[in-house]
Amino acid sequence: MRDTLNHIVIVGAGMAGLRTAEALRGHGFEGRLTLLGEEAHRPYSRPPLSKEVLTGAGMDPSGGAPGRLVGHRALRLRENDVMDDLDLDFRPNTRAVGLDTVAREVHVSGPGGTDGAVRYDGLVIATGARARRPDTDLDGVYVLRTLDDAEAVRAEFDSGGRLVVVGAGFVGAEVAASARTVGMDVTLVEAAPTPLTRVVDPRIGGVLTELHRENGVDVRLGTSVTGFEGRGRVERVRLADGSTLEASLVVVGIGVRLNTEWLRGSGVELLADGAVACDEYSATSVPDVYAVGDLANWPHPRYGGRIRLEHWTNASEQGEAAAYNLLAGDGRTPFTPVPYFWSDQYGRKIQLLGQGSPADEVAFVHGSPEDRKFVAFLGRDGMLTGVLGLRSTPRTMRYRGLLERPTTWDEALEAAGFAVA
């Protein structure tokens, strides 16, 4: 282990930042460890925000003040005593506003508007992303990214009404499913021809479209939102096809903006979309500075170029890898994960291993779309690139090993028991 690292600072208290801190301690780092978090809360799990939190399932009223979702069991990444054992200098309500890589200082704005600088020997950037917000000041229009967002949307759910969800990515799809679970009228609007266009092949997206419709969602595809109407509060959503939708509540899920503005001028290389350019070890262009989670872009040998993943699992795995590499010196290990993502909708688990789009080949190797229970192989250029399962967890995970090494399309089919001509 390197003996020149006495103080490591992690900027960002989400899953990526917390897992980095845990891994640093797990790999024997005994120095000072500071975790800076912009929110007021301890690290919490984001995936339940659009699912259990919105439906109210699993609430623990003893865990927080009345009406606060901090008591929701699904949100807890770690119990308090586990966090305390990490011996962290945890600073909530502290936002990074600049980085001086020569002086090795993170410039911060703390509680009450206090400014200051935090010196470091090693730095891990884990500030993640924020939701893109629509251009409107009407009440009743929300995004869903943080615990505070979820509390606001949940309060609206309790009053019922007509919900319009803009964007059929995973967050939007999950919000729609959660709203139907509590009995709301829901319309899901997506500019692309099928949901999850960036993530899965359209043939799979078509199955997910029908799943929403079977559960009572009015799905509008191939048209975008052009504006919101109302007197002080949203009443209608205007679409590009000329139609309007009545709405008492709108949740917008149209992607994210990366929280990397504070790095400009620091010497840390940023790509055109604001992502932090990393090497195969998660290291940035500046010595002793690493990046993890949503904002990290790095070369992956199995996917023919650079990738960036907004997955909960990746945040955890990359935090572990970056911690090891920061401490390892010359013994670093490339970060080459099998991407993994899951979503829960209408009591059904959707899982994706590898990359799901674009795909030249789609083969349903177990089950069928009609049964709403299947495992599908996804291929490109004669190689297996992804495995997607619906209500098929054990069988889906069985094929992870095929994606850990280069596997041809024919080899994958043979592994699933298909005869190849």
Query: What are the pLDDT digits (tens) for 390-412?
Result: 999 999 999 999 999 999 999 99
| Largest separation between any pair of C-alpha atoms in the chain | 69
Does residue 63 sit within a domain? no
- Residue 258 backbone dihedrals phi, psi, to 5 degrees: -80, 140
Q: Which residue has the higher pLDDT, 211 or 60?
A: 211
For 274-286, the pLDDT digits (tens) are 999 999 999 999 9
Model confidence pLDDT, tens digit, residues 308-367? 999 999 999 999 999 999 999 889 999 999 999 999 999 999 999 999 887 889 999 999
Residue 65 confidence (pLDDT): 40
Domain boundary among 186, 221, 254: 254
- How far, in Å, are 13, 114, 119 from residue 111 at the CA level? 16, 6, 18
Tell me the CATH number at 224: 3.50.50.60
Q: What is the pTM of this model?
A: 0.94
Has residue 120 been placed in a domain?
yes
Residue 419's pLDDT band, with cuts at 50, 70 and 90, is low
Instruction: Confirm if 360 and 381 have CB atoms less than 8 A apart.
Output: yes
Supply the mean pLDDT for the chain: 92
pLDDT per position as a tens digit, 25-84: 999 999 999 999 999 988 999 999 999 889 887 555 444 443 344 456 678 888 888 888
With contact defined as beta carbons under 8 Å apart, do 278 and 297 qualify?
Answer: yes
Mean pLDDT of all residues in 79-93? 91
User: Does position 413 have pLDDT exceeding 70, yes or no?
Assistant: yes
Question: Are 275 and 126 members of one domain?
Answer: yes
Number of domains in the chain: 3
Check whether 126 has a pLDDT greater than 90.
yes
Domain boundary (220, 254, 288) is at 254
User: Is 54 among the domain residues?
Assistant: no
Domain boundary among 204, 227, 254: 254
| Range of the structural domain that residue 229 is part of | 133-254
Give every strand in the sheet of 383-390, ordered side by side: 340-345, 348-354, 383-390, 373-380, 361-368
- Nearest 5°: phi and psi at 336? -130, 65
For residue 56, tell me if it sits in a domain: no
